[in-house]
Amino acid sequence: MQNSTKECKVVCYVGNDGLTVLRCPKCDTTKTIDTNSQNFAFKTFKANCKCGVLIKGQIEFRRYYRKTVRLSGFYLHRETGIRGDIIVANISLMGAGFSCLGKHNLQKGDQLDITFTLDNPKRSTVTLWVEVQSINEKLVGVKRRDSEIQQPDLGFYLR
């Protein structure tokens, strides 16, 4: 393998069949990767393309596209009634990621209502019933517990 002088970063989305396509951003060479037969526990990789580019990649197992955003909002804990201000950093049809603006006592499995305003022309307000899936200091990852059809403005926003 050649020693590359250029690095490129890519994200590879895995399909329902467990396959993903790695495409070199420089020369468009592609390679299909079967994530079912290999261990992708860390979800990141490095690969050298035949054109000499070092590709630093991330395998993304999400079923839905996650849009990067910066939307103000708040959460309301369904059990305790505690409220906290948040900035939604990313959103999909079935999940979201947000930063808490201050200390919080959220735990994995907590159920929340998160409310935020979209940056669309209507300035639509969206409220989602979610469950906390991951916490990394102030960064919280949540999965929707309500139905995606209950928020038509969000579905339109994500298209």
Residue 78's identity, in one-letter code, is R
pLDDT digits (tens, 9 = 90+) for 116-138: 999 999 999 999 999 999 998 78
State yes or no: pLDDT of 64 exceeds 70.
no
User: Same structural domain for residues 23 and 44?
Assistant: yes
Structure tokens at 112: 């929340």
CA distance linking residue 22 with residue 59, whole number of Å: 9
Q: How many domains does the chain have?
A: 2
For 6-35, write each residue's pLDDT tens digit.
888 887 777 767 788 888 888 988 888 887
CA 125 vs. chain centroid, Å, equals 21
What is this structure's pTM? Answer: 0.63
- What domain range includes position 140? 67-158
The CATH number given to whatever domain includes residue 140 is 2.40.10.220
Residues 24 and 79 in one domain: no
112 shares a domain with 76: yes
Examine the domain organization and report whether 12 and 31 are in the same domain: yes
Structure tokens at 7: 């690095």
Higher pLDDT, 39 or 48: 48
Alpha helical stretches, state H, the chain = 152-158
Between CA 69 and CA 97 the distance in angstroms is 10
Q: What is the pLDDT of residues 86-120, one digit of tens each?
A: 999 999 888 999 999 988 999 999 999 999 999 99
Phi, psi for 156 (deg, rounded to 5): -65, -40
